[in-house]
Each structure stands twice: as C-alpha cells, then as structure tokens.
Amino acid sequence: MLAIAILAAGKGTRMKSNLPKVLHHLAGKSLIDRVLSCTQRLRPNRRLIVVGHQANLVEDSLKNQQDLEFVLQQPQNGTGHAIQQLSSKLKGFNGELLVLNGDVPLLKEETLSSLLKFHKESNASVTFLTATLDSPTGYGRVLTDKSGLVKEIIEERDCTDEQRKNKLINAGIYCFDWQQLSDILNLLSSQNSQNELYLTDTISLLKKAIHFEIDDPFEIKGINDRYQLSECENYIQERLKSLWMSKGVSFIDPVSCSISEDSNFGIDIIIEPQTHLRGKCNIGNGCHLGPGSVITNSTLSENVLAIHSFINEATIGNNTSIGPFAHIRPESNISKNSKIGNFVEIKKSSIGEGTKINHLSYIGDSTLGKNINIGAGTITANFDGKNKHRTIIDDYSKTGANSVLVAPINIGSNVTIGAGSTISKDIPDKTLVVERSKAIIRTKNN
C-alpha cells in the first residue's frame, strides 16, 4: 500500500506574497500542480494534501483533480507537525508513506519510483532523497556515519559552522514505513531555532534511516524565494527550448523567449526575440513568429507570419499574415491565405479564405466570407450598450475606409460600401451603397 502526502500548508514567508507559495507558477503551472503530476503513475492508494495557510485557495486550485484528501494543519507548526495531522486519517494504514514538499516542483516520477524501489529493497524505516550541492545554502544538512547510515538531519540555521560546510543536503522527499513513523511521531520536540516540530528530526528517532543520492541537483531544487523561482523557470525554459531546437525550431534569441510545456511545434519554425507561447499552442511547419508576439492556447497552421501581435484562443489557417500590432481575441477563426494587418482587433469572429483586413479595424462577433476587402478603419459596431450583435458579410464584398457597420447586420456578397458610410440596415448582393452627408462648400470672408 502506498500513501502520498504533499506538504502545502506553509505560508512561504520568503516569497513576500499574498498568494500561498505553492500557487506560484513555473512555465504556466502551479508548483503544487507540478508536484501532483509526478505522483500519478505511482498509482498511490491515497493522496493527502496538508493545507493550512490560505487553505481554501490551495484546495480551490485543485478542485479538478480526483481522489485528493485535504488535511488541515492549523496553526502551521512545522513539517513534523504537518505530518502529525495525518495520524487520524492514516490510522490502521499499513504501507509506505511518501512525503513530498509542495515547493520542490522539478522532481521526476522516475526518481520517485527508484526511491520507492530502493526503500523496499533496503528494508529501511525511512529512505529520503539527498544531493551533494556546491552551494548548499538554505537546505538541511545530512550527517552520516562511516557505514553510510544517516545519523541526523540538521537544519542550516541550527548547524555549527563546521556542520554547515557539509554539502550533502536533504531534498525534503521521504519514503517512510508508516507504522514505524507513527510510533515515534509524538516524540518530536520544538527545541530548535524556529520552535517548530521538524519532520527531519524523525530521522534520528527511527531504526534504520538511509538516503538515496541523486545526480541532477536541479531536480530537487526547493523554492523558497522569487530568485529560486526564476532559476527553476530558466531551467525549464532552457530544457524546453533545446528540445524543440533539436526537432527543427529556430530561436533567434532564445533567452528572450519563453514557451509552454503543453505546446507543440512542427519544423522550420522561426521564433524571433521577445516571443512567448503560453498554454496549449500548436504551431505548424514554416511559421515565423515575432519579434514581440504573445500566443496563448492557439493553433496556427503552416507558414503563418505573426509579427508583434497577440493571439489568444484562436485558430489561424495556412499562409496567413498577422500584424504587426494585431490583436486576435478568443473564439476567432482566421482561414487560410488571409491577412490581418496593423492595429486590427478581431474578436469572436470567423474570417474566410483570402480575406484582407489590412489597417486599423475592429471586427467583433462577425462572420466574414472569402476574398473580402475590409477598408482601413472599418468598425463593426457590435454593442448597443446592453447586448452584443452579429455582423455578417458575404464573399467578395468591400468596405470603404472608415465604414461603420451597425450590428445586427447582413451585408450580401459582392457589395461595395463607400468610404465613411455608417450602415445600419441589411444590404443585398451585388450593390453599391454610400451613406454620407453632402459636403457644404462656401467661400470664406477672410
């Protein structure tokens, strides 16, 4: 039997934040989400989350996850105190308890599997992850005897100068024999510099404590402050970008770009400086993104060009050119061979094949057919102060510069609208329409 407990009750004082630490994000995913996602394939029988500081925010953020048991720790009196709260929940439980820190987000599932395997083979009371770090600052130091058995973990602030030089650190990931742990849990004392009950003190109370040292120190990096958060972000970004470079994506200035783990790319894609992909994006072969574009939860087919533009929850067809300075908003679908030019905003609209909206327009709640030419400054007036209305324009129509189309409205196919017109009624196919007041021309006196 396997139970997993994730410690997520602490305030995260060093983050200096109103948000609980475990809800801070790394490459678009919260720390706690990341820790949870490496537990799934271990097939635990129970998953318990210890919450405390802003417990409801943490619980809320996980409401879509199944089979989680939340355990409240109030007040937060240390990591040992956090585990004491599990006693009644795990009464009678017989098996391993895997304890994960909610602020160690880069951990790999394979490492946890190896830890569990090693623990069972060694018949230990506890096995925990360690690493040898060049700069061990901030971590608990692990003291071993000559045979390699662990004697003690001492928190950095409780170390002597000599002990502090020890570079073997505690990663905060433990596999306990629950029965043995629960027998000694009440023996913890708070005689330390923080007056807290430390989980690390259970190590010297248990019969056989061993450690499992891992090679990649980044994997067990704990996040206590925003600097460490940014180090982890860089680490993830670096790995993601090199992966996609090896698969055919060029980054002109990779350091200035970020991509999300849930995005997918084809080949021969060029990503220019200051370009960011967020959420779940699918980017087809030959796309050229940036400089300066931000693309979120969107699908771009092949050879799409997007310069200095924001594209959010949209679908863009082949050979389409977006920007510079375009804003494509959610639920927009731009078909192939079209062009969305500078200072154009598209919202909840479908744009047909080969249609061009080249300059300074707002197209909202609209359905545009194919090969339409939208003149500079054309606006769909979609909002009457209360409700939103749709604009429909059929194939091959043209709007002149500064046209205002007052929705709800249907413009037929092959219609030409004269520049400066405000159109507020439906226009039939194959017509020319101009709505413009007469120019008054007078001779001036001076």
Kindly tell me which residue out of 128, 139, 174, 265 binds ligand UD1, with binding defined by CB under 6 A: 139
Pairing of strands 416-417, 432-433: parallel
Query: What residues form DSSP beta bridges with 276?
Result: 258, 294
Closest approach, Cβ 164 to ligand UD1, in A, equals 13
Decide whether 3 or 376 has the Cβ nearer to ligand UD1.
Answer: 3
Cα–Cα distance, 428 to 418 (Å, whole number): 15
Cα–Cα distance, 4 to 99 (Å, whole number): 6
**Which partner, ligand UD1, Ca ion, none, binds residue 182 by CB below 5 to 8 Å per kind?**
none
**Which partner, Ca ion, ligand UD1, none, binds residue 202 by CB below 5 to 8 Å per kind?**
none
Kindly tell me which residue out of 103, 345, 353, 394 binds ligand UD1, with binding defined by CB under 6 A: 103
Closest approach, Cβ 340 to ligand UD1, in A, equals 45
Which two structure tokens, joined as six digits, stand for 99?
Answer: 């304890």
Q: Burial, 191: exposed, middle or buried (Cβ in 10 Å; 0-12, 13-18, 19+)? A: exposed
Decide whether 138 or 286 has the Cβ nearer to Ca ion.
Answer: 138
Closest approach, Cβ 32 to ligand UD1, in A, equals 8
222 binds Ca ion (CB under 5 A): yes
State phi, psi for 372 to the nearest 5 degrees: -95, 145
**Active-site residue among 24, 81, 211, 359?**
359
The window from 100-108, 292-300, 333-341, 382-390 that contacts ligand UD1 (CB under 6 A) reads: 100-108
Decide whether 170 or 378 has the Cβ nearer to Ca ion.
Answer: 170
Site mask, ligand UD1, residues 186-205, x = CB under 6 A?
A: ------------xxx-----
**Which partner, Ca ion, ligand UD1, none, binds residue 338 by CB below 5 to 8 Å per kind?**
none
Note the maximum CA span of the chain: 108
The window from 2-10, 267-275, 330-338, 376-384 that contacts ligand UD1 (CB under 6 A) reads: 2-10
168 binds ligand UD1 (CB under 6 A): no
Decide whether 79 or 338 has the Cβ nearer to ligand UD1.
Answer: 79
- 223-255 burial code (b ≥16 CB/10 A, e <16): bbbeebbeebeebbbeebbeebeeeebebeebe
Closest approach, Cβ 232 to ligand UD1, in A, equals 12
Which residues 206-235 are close enough to bind ligand UD1 by CB under 6 A? 222, 224
Kindly tell me which residue out of 96, 103, 219, 365 binds Ca ion, with binding defined by CB under 5 A: 103
Q: Which has the closest alpha carbon to 38: 89, 112, 92?
A: 112
**Cβ within 8 Å of residue 172, ≥6 positions away:** 79, 99, 100, 101, 104, 129, 140, 220, 222
Among left, alpha and beta (phi > 0; psi -120 to 50; other), residue 286 is left
- 31-68 burial code (b ≥16 CB/10 A, e <16): bbbbbbebbeeeebebbbbbbbbbbeebeeebeeeeee
Q: Which residue is nearest to Ca ion (CB)?
A: 222
Contact 395, 378 (CB under 8 A): no
Decide whether 83 or 283 has the Cβ nearer to ligand UD1.
Answer: 83
Tell me the site size for ligand UD1, rule CB under 6 A: 30
The torsion defined by the Cα of 290, 298, 357 and 396, in degrees rounded to 10, comes to: 140
Q: Which has the closest alpha carbon to 32: 54, 14, 1?
A: 54
359 a catalytic residue = yes
Decide whether 172 or 352 has the Cβ nearer to ligand UD1.
Answer: 172
Residue type, 329: R
* Residues known to be catalytic: 359
Residues that bind ligand UD1 (CB under 6 A): 7-10, 50, 52, 73, 76-79, 81-82, 101-104, 139-140, 153, 155, 169-172, 198-200, 222, 224
Residues that bind Ca ion (CB under 5 A): 103, 222, 224
